[in-house]
Amino acid sequence: MPVLGRNRSWLVLAIIPPVALLLYLSGGRPDLPAQPIGQRMAQAETSEQEDASLIDTLRQGLAKMNPAAPQARQGYILLGQAEASRGSWGAAAAAWRVAIAHGFDPTVAMQAAEAQSRADGAVGPETAALFRRALDAAPADAPWRQLAEQRLAQSEHH
């Protein structure tokens, strides 16, 4: 029996390094140097504050512009993208709706409808109408067409 016990010990010792490496590679970031969690959290918070400041600056600049100006429309599209990247779906939808009010684009309309459905947690009647309008104006090969059709199907079941 002592031989069996030693073999088991060697087996366990041999398995630990590859298992540890697999765990590290699946959840770790070997391309980044190690940083204390406090430092990473402080950097993330600083980045979020900088993003919020830039978005506020963009919002203030847009408030001074004529909303019908092409630059304002592009600014509202950019604002929608910035808000969506932060997960502020309601604000993203509102910005994209301003943009499509001054020049309809089916892709931007789709983005607005999707953001609104995420903000609301469901596809309401106004959002469904925007999905339909986007689908009607979109080319047949629009990459988001299937998602819009799925959202419309969801709205009909609720």
Say what the pLDDT of residue 30 is. 65
Could you report the per-residue pLDDT of 66-88, keeping only the tens digit for each? 888 899 999 999 999 999 999 99
Cβ atoms within 10 Å of 153's Cβ, excluding its own = 10
Say what the pLDDT of residue 1 is. 46
Say what the pLDDT of residue 53 is. 87
Could you report the per-residue pLDDT of 86-136, keeping only the tens digit for each? 999 999 999 999 999 999 999 999 999 999 999 999 999 999 999 999 999
pTM beyond 0.75: the answer is: no
Whole-number Å distance between alpha carbons of 158 and 139? 28
8-24: average pLDDT = 71
How high does pLDDT run on average in the chain? 86
Greater model confidence, 148 or 22: 148
Q: Helix or strand or coil: residue 32?
A: coil
Domains in the chain (CATH in brackets) are 39-157 (1.25.40.10)
